[in-house]
Structure 1
Amino acid sequence: MDDLETLLAAGGSTALLAVRGREVVYARGFHAHRSSVASVRKSLIGILYGIAVAAGEIDLDATLGDLGIDDLTPLTPQEKQATVADLLKSRSGVYHPCVYGMEPGRPARGSHAPGTFWYYNNWDFNALGTIYRQQTGRTLAGAFQEYVAGPLQMQDFAVEDVFDVPGPQSRHPVYKMRLSGRDLARVGVLFLEGGRWEGRQVVPETWVAQSTRPLTDLGGGRGYGYLWWTAEANAPGDDLSTDWPVFYASGAGGQYIIVIEALGLVVVHRAADVDKGIGHAQMGRILRALLRIIA
């Protein structure tokens, strides 16, 4: 049976934090240090989408064609039929080169109609950044400060921690984010409490529920919602699974926000050096070792 301290000492982990009922029940490492959250950024930007959709600024049923979204190599008429909801579910069917693209395994263009096939697609995620800026008139950095960091009273966030990185592959830049572990824990608590923070409904409860349920069944008890992952209890297809269902935000190298609703628990793991972090299976071992101590 894995020992938690041994697992954390094995390398890669720089912070592990567990919060229950707004109380820290486990802490190890450097929780105020801001570093790249990698693909956790996608789940975080999803918060801004929930707020903008509720405000009527973004229509989930609007297509790329409706919104005038295109790229350096023009999108086909079929690709332009992808909706905002399709992008949020990573089911756009747009397999165009993108900044920070994942070339190996990318389907051929035109091989799947919008909405019919799930593929973890950075083109979708980058285009969501463009759509948000275009439809709201706000930068992602300014919006995150106003609608998330401010209301959640984040301790370490600075507006320059959200920034765009352009590239020659596409007209849609990748958006990058740096946050601390304790600020990420606030996001986990926000979602655990149905989008509320200290009595204020920061993000609609219906959006939280929709985002964190398996809108796409990935098999083996694993699913994908709106930019969040899900795992059933003891899901054989997800190395992160536990005796309880979980939903989580995940980024390369060991960046995680994990929520276990049945336990009222939020777990955050950080690896400041993404290239020397930990893998998904190791995170599962760490999580289960932690639960043996605090669950």
Structure 2
Amino acid sequence: MTAEEAVQKFLEWMAVEKQASPLTIEAYQGDLARFLGFMITHLDGLPDMIGLGLISLRDFRAWLAYEQAEASKPTARKTSSDQATRTRARRVSAVRSFFKYLARRQGVENPAIQLLSTPRTKKPLPRPLAKDQALAAPEDISDLAQTPMEQQRNAALFLLLYGCGLRISEALNLNIADLDVMRSSNVLRILGKGGKERLVPVLPVVQQALEAWRTRHPAPTPDAPLFVGIRGKRLQPAIAQKAMREWRHLSGLPDYVTPHALRHSFATHLMEGGADLRVIQELLGHASLSTTQRYTLADEARLLDVWTRAHPRAQ
């Protein structure tokens, strides 16, 4: 098996076994192509399977130095230094995952990759919508839809995202049968990242919007997707993102206002209302409390910004 064939098998494994998203597969494919392209020049030829196991830490570091130099060139696409660092970190992650796959599935081990340091990145702080914007979003977005069916669907979808703090993928993976569970228990059973399941309470106003959407759903059988497109298939995230993007442009809002920003808004507004951080962690389905604590940092940054702009002595 050649190195290129091994990469192809790895990507197929990512898609089937790990159920990685098409965007992740595409990014990893590009990252690994860059890595192998560098190694062809660096090692005077594409390494075979045995050669992949012999790549040294010095070789890996040479590749990472090359990536950093490429990002610093004047001809490189203009990106922030932090964004460029995140890209390099993702490429290291792709290569490390590839070599872990080789060790587990192909019997090719290379311990040197574990010694390669991942470029440190600053995790961006969550950027929520203002409360009035988050409250207005579901109705305003639905008003821009072309048909009554799409209007009812969008109103329910975006109210669910803000009212329950769901990821867009979590909301779009729901089926009609999940509404029956909600009717009897006032909660939704959500399957999150890594197959982790959590129960999320549903506010009455959200329940009403979901039930109203069910009455207009084209085929509300228990196993049918809850949110569907005009052809009756499960709604694609790109459609929801496009609907919010149109509202964002018309409202003059910044680019970070996306469906995921409604999840940030859910968490931030709960925290501002005095909710316990552990409760927010459970509702969001975060594996680590440190992930949830980013919302406290974001709130501190917002308070500092308000103080800087408002206090006479801050000028």
Question: Quick check: TM above 0.5?
Answer: no
Larger-gyration structure (1/2): 2
TM class by shorter-chain length? under 0.3
Structure having greater relative contact order (Cα 8 Å, sep ≥ 6): 1
- Which structure has greater strand proportion? 1
